[in-house]
Amino acid sequence: MSTQPDPARGAAVKAADRAHVFHSWSAQGLIDPLAVAGAEGSYFWDYDGNRYLDFSSQLVNTNIGHQHPKVVAAIQEQAARLCTIAPGFAVDVRSEAARLVAERTPGDLDKIFFTNGGAEAVENAVRMARLHTGRPKVLSAYRSYHGATAAAINLTGDPRRWASDTGSAGVIHFWAPFLYRSPFHAESEEQECERALRHLEDTIAFEGPATIAAILLETVPGTAGIMVPPPGYLPGVRALCDRYGIVLVLDEVMAGFGRTGRWFAADHFGVTPDLLTFAKGVNSGYVPLGGVAISAEIAATFETRPYPGGLTYSGHPLACASAVATIDAMAEEGIVENAARIGEDVLGPGLRELAERHPSVGEVRGLGAFWAVELVRDRATREPLVPYAATGEANAPMAAFTAACKAAGLWPFVNMNRTHAVPPCTVTASEAKEGLAALDEALTVADRYTV
């Protein structure tokens, strides 16, 4: 499957990149981007003959793996038929993509507003909630990520917000449950759940319920650490929203479309939000696409009153065609069920077994194809392997761990003191085991930094 190595071509690609491409989230002079020659299924490769098992699904978006033939064909067919059309028209692939998404989202989330990605989905969900309620504030959690545009970055609860923390009028952060590093000094899931709900209700009371438009939560926080909430937490948040007339927005940009072993992570908890944001897995990012699934009640607000928001490429035909093919292929090939099975049979047990042998592993948690491995210097105190938001020398242990993964043929997802095992939902048992073996090797490097 890999193409023939071609180091000269790789060097040219890299040189043009370094000369002209301005990269996200980076000091431009300090990065060394890998030149990628191709990808298929769970793997991608460079021009030097190195192949990597993609345990990051890129940015946790290639749920269906790279170059799925049915999705590639759908994009090609749509390109030949109708590449683009303005959002104001009704067009077959857009109608069908909206129908397929609405059919799978929980409850009465039956209207779909399409965007180009996750941040725009969050921007629009917040706008809808504010207009629907006539209230200004939005509550979101620390340890979260919601995107890099104006409202989305202010709602984010990680260090990426700090540089943009200027326009955050109406944004209030609170602590969501995370037993391993409990903000509430809890000792059990039940305590954590109960105290987190009390903290949220106190926050609502002190902010003034009548000023709060929405509570925005990742159903299972992703980049911030895959903290699966205790069973009663999200139903408890739903009840608080109902009590105070607050819109519940669940951000499923990362957790949605099979990642957790269900179509949506909300399905694990029996909770229906008023708005649900999605992107990434909806079409595995083959063409940029995101959106907001909207409840009947909020849709009714905009039945005779115009919705003041739009995008030139809302519901782009190439993106929608790839979403239709992705959702159909996921259903036909049992890809969501595969993610659930791999999580239960291979990734969960395999990562727990690594935790037993490696002193650098503090905790393993997750579900489906969505797992976090928390790396620590000291298991007893739970001191993280690197400090929160560490850079440069302070981050050396994680840099060494990352390099060891790559040397073992695994492309890891790494954030702060964690690595996430987030392969495509199509990953086979033998690929998942190959990934676990590479992590085993790399963890011996992390172990060297333990006390």
Ligand X SMILES: Cc1ncc(COP(=O)(O)O)c(C=O)c1O
Which residues bind to ligand X, rule: CB under 6 A?
A: 59, 117-119, 122, 145-147, 218, 222-223, 251, 253-254, 279, 290
Residue 43: CB atoms within 10 A of its CB come to: 19
Q: How far apart are CA 394 and CA 396, in angstroms?
A: 6
What are the φ/ψ torsions at residue 279 (nearest 5 degrees)?
-170, -135
Query: Given the complex with ligand X, which of 222 and 397 has the nearer CB atom?
Result: 222
Q: How far is the CB of 117 from ligand X (least distance, A)?
A: 3
Q: How far apart are CA 9 and CA 33, in angstroms?
A: 15
Residue 138: CB atoms within 10 A of its CB come to: 25
Query: Given the complex with ligand X, which of 276 and 404 has the nearer CB atom?
Result: 276
Q: How far is the CB of 81 from ligand X (least distance, A)?
A: 26
Q: How far apart are CA 270 and CA 107, in angstroms?
A: 10
Q: Which class for 400: exposed (0-12), middle (13-18), buried (19 or more C-beta within 10 A)?
A: middle
Query: Given the complex with ligand X, which of 121 and 354 has the nearer CB atom?
Result: 121
3-state class (DSSP) for residue 7:
helix
Query: Given the complex with ligand X, which of 250 and 351 has the nearer CB atom?
Result: 250
What are the φ/ψ torsions at residue 377 (nearest 5 degrees)?
-80, -30
Distance of CA 234 to the CA centre of its chain: 18
Q: How far apart are CA 196 and CA 203, in angstroms?
A: 10
Query: Given the complex with ligand X, which of 177 and 222 has the nearer CB atom?
Result: 222
Q: How far is the CB of 251 from ligand X (least distance, A)?
A: 5
Q: How far is the CB of 210 from ligand X (least distance, A)?
A: 28
H or E, element range at 214: strand 212-218
Query: Given the complex with ligand X, which of 230 and 290 has the nearer CB atom?
Result: 290
Query: Given the complex with ligand X, which of 33 and 69 has the nearer CB atom?
Result: 33
Structural tokens at position 392: 């440069």
Q: How far is the CB of 395 from ligand X (least distance, A)?
A: 20
Query: Given the complex with ligand X, which of 118 and 397 has the nearer CB atom?
Result: 118
Q: How far apart are CA 258 and CA 281, in angstroms?
A: 8
The amino acid that residue 186 corresponds to is A
Q: How far is the CB of 146 from ligand X (least distance, A)?
A: 5
Structural tokens at position 447: 């172990």
- Whole-angstrom CA distances from 107 to 265, 322, 364 are 13, 24, 32
Q: Are 204 and 212 in contact (CB under 8 A)?
A: yes
Q: How far is the CB of 356 from ligand X (least distance, A)?
A: 30
Q: Which residue is nearest to ligand X (CB)?
A: 118
Q: How far is the CB of 222 from ligand X (least distance, A)?
A: 5
